[in-house]
Amino acid sequence: MNKMKPLIVANWKCNPTSLRKAKELFEQVVEGVKKEKNVQVVICPPFIYIPTFKQVAGKAVKIGCQDCHWEYHGAFTGEISASMAKDAGCEYIIIGHSERRRYFGETDDVVNKKLKAALEAGILPIFCIGETNEERRAGKTEAVLEGEINGGLEGINADDFSKITIAYEPIWAISDGDPYATKEMPTPENIKKAEVLIKDLVAENYGKKIVGAKIIYGGSVNAANSKSYLKEAGMSGLLVGGASLKAEEFVKIVKNV
Ligand code: 13P
């Protein structure tokens, strides 16, 4: 059986503020990781930078986007469809990020429609789930993850599920852009526990053969802690926010794999 390469995904969110800065960062990352053969690096910039990056991406780095609309096309002012993202060069797409759920009101139903649209367009979805601090403190983590998994994956068959990577991002561990800000962080044991839970929930939907589900971790990942989430917690990869905006730091995370 082919062992999957760890997936290291950069979620740039709404950064950086100009094409010049974005291109500089992108090129520095490509240069820094181009010899790394045992890892798959994906950069998800704001939509507007994607066409420029497609020309300089090369094999070392794949391009993803951070969202899409669920419809193929039509009168949806301001939206971009999954097929447009695919046409622009995206191979991956982040769906259901907690910031989309929180600031843009995305429900599990919306996330489900977007996952289906991405699969239909032939883009590999990175499906985000995770609990808030209040939910965690109220002992609701399991119920929240169950709701997000069941709602998000509704009607998606096992074959399509095999194309999805689940990103577990406990919302309480996500930084405001500074991965070294003092934040409560989950331990590798916490993450391992969540991973087992997610695999059980997925198995309830797809049966036991899905034990190989790809689950990556996100939340204040930096070069100092990345290894522990991969090696100790055994995650299939990482979804990196703030630290992916610093080329040197992000390249270190990739090399740490
Ligand atoms: P940080 O790495 O900045 O905590 O962001 C995590 C995240 O939300 C990635 O999608």
pLDDT in tens, the chain (257 residues): 446 899 999 999 999 999 999 999 999 999 999 999 999 999 999 999 999 998 877 788 999 999 999 999 999 999 999 999 999 999 999 999 999 999 999 999 999 999 999 999 999 999 999 999 999 999 999 999 999 999 999 999 999 999 999 999 999 999 988 877 777 889 999 999 999 999 999 998 887 666 568 999 999 999 999 999 999 988 999 999 999 999 999 999 999 99
List C-alpha distances in Å: 203 to 146, 155, 209, 212. 12, 15, 7, 10
CB 205 within 8 A of CB 153: yes
Query: For residue 49, which amino acid is it?
Result: Y
* CA 210 / ligand 1 centre spacing (Å): 26
Pocket test for ligand 1, best of 133, 169, 176, 183 (most atoms within 8 A of CB): 169
Q: What pLDDT was estimated at residue 1?
A: 40
* CA 173 / ligand 1 centre spacing (Å): 8
Phi-psi map region of 149: left, alpha, beta (phi>0 left; psi -120 to 50 alpha): alpha
Query: For residue 208, which amino acid is it?
Result: K
List, chain by chain if needed, residues with CB within 6 Å of any ligand 1 atom.
Answer: 11, 97, 169, 174-175, 177, 179, 218-221, 239-243
List C-alpha distances in Å: 50 to 30, 119, 124. 14, 20, 16
In DSSP terms, 94 is beta-bridged to 126
- Of the chain, the end-to-end C-alpha distance in Å amounts to 20
Residue written as token pair 């939206």: 79
Q: What pLDDT was estimated at residue 257?
A: 93
